[in-house]
Amino acid sequence: MDFKQQLNDAAGNHDYAALLELVPYAQFIGMDCERFGDELVFRLPPKAENMGNPMLPALHGGVIAGFMEMAAIVQLMVMMHTTQVPKIVDFSIDYLRAGYAREAYCECKITRQGRRVANVSISSWQTNRKQPIATARAHFLIE
């Protein structure tokens, strides 16, 4: 089975675990996704490999950014019903507080989707959605 068929099957079955299994980085950091109505919530479990500061211990900033970027890509693919992987044009992140060694979550909102470019805002939190550990804005080229 080719990659495009696997993407179609995962999206058609709403099996986001299968979709994330196709991405080695998503597997490495251990992210998964749940759908609640029309909303997708992404989860990053605590893993020793994802820690950057062992003294706190805290998540590595690059892991947080990669988690958020991957979530935005999956969100766009699911909401646009496409097998084309959007190409990142720009990604800007604001780290607001330390992400400790516990589960982290994120949600994405497509703020603008044109014919060629989509803008996505992403928020990541741990214990309280109203206290994000990071927020980001991403622009993607869509086919």
Q: What is the pLDDT of residue 1?
A: 59
Residue in the structure block whose two tokens are 């869509």: 142
Q: Which domains does the chain have, with CATH numbers?
A: 3-141 (3.10.129.10)
Q: What is the pLDDT of residue 138?
A: 97
pLDDT in single tens digits along all 143 residues of the chain: 566 777 777 767 777 777 788 888 999 999 999 888 778 999 999 999 999 988 889 999 999 999 999 999 999 988 887 778 899 999 999 999 999 999 999 999 999 888 899 999 999 999 999 999 999 999 999 87
Q: At what angle do helices 3-12 and 61-80 cross, to 10 degrees?
A: 80
Helix (H, G, I), strand (E, B) or coil at 142: coil
Helix (H, G, I), strand (E, B) or coil at 24: helix
Q: Is the dihedral of CA 122, 23, 128, 56 positive or negative?
A: negative
